[in-house]
Amino acid sequence: MQGILINGCIRDSEDIGKMPLGVKALNIYPLKSSKRDHGLSDVPLTFAGVNIRPGDYLYADMDGVLISQNELKSV
The pTM (predicted TM-score) of the whole model is 0.74
For the chain, the domains span 3-30+42-68
pLDDT for residue 16: 92
pLDDT for residue 32: 85
pLDDT for residue 74: 76
Residue 3, sorted as left (phi over 0), alpha (psi -120 to 50) or beta, turns out to be: beta
Q: Which residues of the chain have a pLDDT value below 70?
A: 75
pLDDT for residue 43: 96
Chain-centre distance for alpha carbon 46: 12
pLDDT for residue 57: 93
pLDDT for residue 34: 80
pLDDT for residue 33: 79
